[in-house]
Amino acid sequence: MRDDSHEYMHATHSCKLPATRHTPHAVLPGIQDTDLMLYAIANGSGCGGSTLARAGYCQRHPTTNRPTVGYINACLDPIDTEYDPISDTYYIAPRDIEFNIGLFGHELLHALGFLSMMYQYYIDPDTREPYGTTAKTVTCSNGVQEYVNNVPNVLYNYITKDGDVIWEVTTPRVRQVVQNHFNCPTLTGARLENQYNSKCWGSHWDERYFFDDIMGQTSHLYNIASPLTLALLEDSGWYLPNYSHSNMTSFGRGAGCEFVLGDCVVEEDLIPEYGR
């Protein structure tokens, strides 16, 4: 899955959509009592190969920077259909419908602000002050050092003893949830994906630790909207999630610090006890 919100943005953060796709409301002063206007696009630019969908924001609120206009671009070609000879029609199997509902939930979360370029705008929900950014040299997920003018202060960047480049979200609620989940009070945050995709830091959780989370990099049938992902939304300062609608992920739950800090496989291809 690849998500690239730049596909429909330019310098003013307006969606570059064909005029025929605009609703009448899009050219008026706006839609009253609406928090987010979402454009749904099928087979837009960027589809192809194994890409299932793309999503992002088009416009931000003038004072809070919360996304107010976003898009989801559904790539239809990879969707499997089955033929029914009785009705002479093609249909999508129920299992695939369920998968795609989860996929579009994933994309909606990107449009809400779970994006690499949106962390810099997050607001502390307790103080209502922006977390801010810092200009500094960092090591990007491809291992290359870069000087970046606006590194989000909600992120922590370091290199492990094995040379792995790590980016973590370190906001208070995210940190608390990840400590509770793994039963490891020394964790500083939740790790982001470390596969380089032209961005210095990622827009998904690292699947090594959050395999079954809806915001992992790869969609599965039973991805879960977890307390961790809701904690990130709350820590953005833009949303107040209802945690009763989240589900606990089972991967690594209560496994301890070694599960997070140790290797999945040790000498002679053995799986350590903490990974069982």
Is 110 annotated as a binding-site member? Answer: yes
Interatomic CA distance for residues 192 and 149, integer angstroms: 20
Contact 159, 165 (CB under 8 A): yes
Q: Would you call 43 helix, strand, or coil by DSSP?
A: coil
Q: Which of 7, 107, 168, 193 is catalytic?
A: 107
Q: Is 107 a catalytic residue?
A: yes
- Tell me how far apart the alpha carbons of residues 76 and 52 are, in angstroms, rounded to a whole number: 7
CA dist 115 and 165 (Å) reads 19
Integer Cα distance of 274 and 276 in angstroms: 6
Please indicate if the annotation marks 22 as binding a ligand. Answer: no
Burial of 214 (0-12, 13-18, 19+ CB in 10 A): buried
- How far apart CA 122 and CA 206 sit, in angstroms, is 20
Q: How many other C-beta atoms are found inside a 10 Å radius of the C-beta of residue 98?
A: 12
**Which residues make up each annotated binding site?**
106, 110, 204
**Which residues make up each annotated binding site for Zn(2+)?**
106, 110, 204
Catalytic residues: 107
